[in-house]
Amino acid sequence: MNLLGFLSWFGLWVLLPLAVIVISVVTLISLTERRRAGRPEGRSASLSGRTLAIGLFGFALIFGVALWWNQTHAWYEEVTGVDLVRADGREIPVSGYQGLDGNSPLKLRACFTVDPADFEGVPVATDATPLGTPDWFGCYDEAALTDDLAAGRATPYLAGNNEPQDFERIIAVYPDGRAYLWRQLNEKYRD
């Protein structure tokens, strides 16, 4: 886990609950003090609806932002500077590699350029399904890639099977040399 991943985990599971506890204790102390001092005319000493609504909205907003960050940024690491990718046991030179990886095999995504002739003899993947990426990873468009695979504008190659166990590594290559890499579950887990 990288530093940002740890900080977001720490914030979501340690600081946020601690903040809720502190706010609750401060609210209880405030209510107790108001009761001791006497109630203002026409008002009860209990928590007002407006204060409760603002508190709940604030908590939901902070929790939502922390959860969004955790899902889209914290568990991903950007990978650059890769010069070779493996496909069916051989190493293929690449250029312009931009990739993502993370704490799960399914987080692997990459965009790069190759010579399509290098994939001669690599088995074609029969059920290649590109997976989504966070919005901030701009070079990988799974919707366009899915459409291009269905229309035959790109060829999906089975670069590796059971690497790691129960996952396939797929590389989709366009005739102009653009290539996209991802992992997906193998046939054991398909419907």
pLDDT at 126: 87
**Region of 64 on the Ramachandran plot (φ > 0 left; ψ -120 to 50 alpha; else beta):** alpha
What pLDDT is stored for residue 114 in this prediction?
96
Per-residue pLDDT of the chain (191 residues; tens, 9 = 90+): 556 666 666 766 777 777 777 777 777 677 666 666 665 555 554 556 677 778 778 888 888 888 888 778 778 888 898 999 999 889 999 999 999 988 888 888 999 999 999 999 999 998 899 988 888 888 988 899 999 999 999 999 999 988 778 889 999 999 999 999 999 988 777 66
Tokens representing 77? 């690491």
* First and final C-alpha spacing in the chain: 32
Q: What CA–CA distance (Å, rounded) separates 96 from 146?
A: 22
> Do 142 and 130 meet the contact criterion of CB atoms below 8 Å apart?
yes
> Per-domain residue ranges for the chain?
3-74, 77-189
Task: Give the pLDDT confidence score for residue 96 in this predicted structure.
Answer: 94
Query: How far apart are the C-alpha atoms of 101 and 108, rounded to whole Å?
Result: 5
Chain CA centroid to CA 19, Å:
26
Euclidean distance between CA atoms 56 and 79, whole angstroms: 39
Q: Measuring CA to CA, which residue among 115, 117, 78, 109 is closest to residue 95?
A: 115
pLDDT at 19 (0 to 100): 76
* Angle (deg, nearest 10), helices 49-69 and 16-37: 170
